[in-house]
Amino acid sequence: MTHHDSNRSTAGWVLMEALVSMVVLSVAVVALNRGFAEAVLTRSIARDYTQARFFLEQVVGELEMKPVHVDGTSGKGGFGKDHPRFSYSWSVKRVDVARPELPVALPPQLLSVVEAFEPPIEYLGQIAVRVNWTRSGQSFSSELETTIAPGALYIPEEDDLEPPA
């Protein structure tokens, strides 16, 4: 083997090492770029969930301020031109309160008292709010529910359309 052939062989190995290094570096750059893109998207989605929570509390707060709610009503809306990706829907419904189960080992003198007990309320009202939004072509939503006192819930009869004044 001549000196000239040895240089050519060494140059071939150096070229091969450089090529492999460039491939590894390219794969690493692509992976890092993808990782940064995922981190930015995840941060944006987390920010959207935080914003949605503020919107949920805003809508629930506004609904709770009404003195009377009608069972079975619902509505929807948006948050203006500043937040066009976000919208909301809400509903009000009656939720029956279950009578608590009696303890198994009750003394007989208490059993008659407890059986005669009538719960102070038979039902509560429930306000449910859902905020929907989109990001990067995907749909997201978040929900919040709260209860309202029975006195703040009007349950119309079948032929009754308007709550009492």
Q: Residue 119 pLDDT > 70, yes or no? A: yes
Specify if 89 maps to a domain.
Answer: yes
pLDDT score at 161? 56
CA distances from 67 to 64, 94, 95, 153 (A): 8, 16, 18, 9
> Can you tell me the mean pLDDT for 153-165?
70
**Selection from 97, 56, 92, 62 nearest residue 74 by Cα:** 92
Q: What is the mean pLDDT of residues 26-41?
A: 80
142 found inside a domain: yes
Q: Each residue of 64-93: pLDDT tens digit?
A: 999 999 999 999 999 999 999 999 999 999
pLDDT at residue 99 tops 70:
yes
Range of the domain at 76: 3-154
pLDDT at 4 over 70: no
**How many angstroms separate the CA atoms of 117 and 126, rounded?**
25
34, part of any domain: yes
Identify whether 165 is part of a domain: no
Q: Among candidates 60, 61, 128, which has minimal Cα distance to 94? A: 128
CB 45 within 8 A of CB 112: no
Q: Is the pLDDT of residue 124 over 80?
A: yes
In a domain, residue 160? The reply is no
In a domain, 20, yes or no: yes
Specify if 124 maps to a domain: yes
Q: How many domains does the chain have?
A: 1
161 within domain boundaries: no
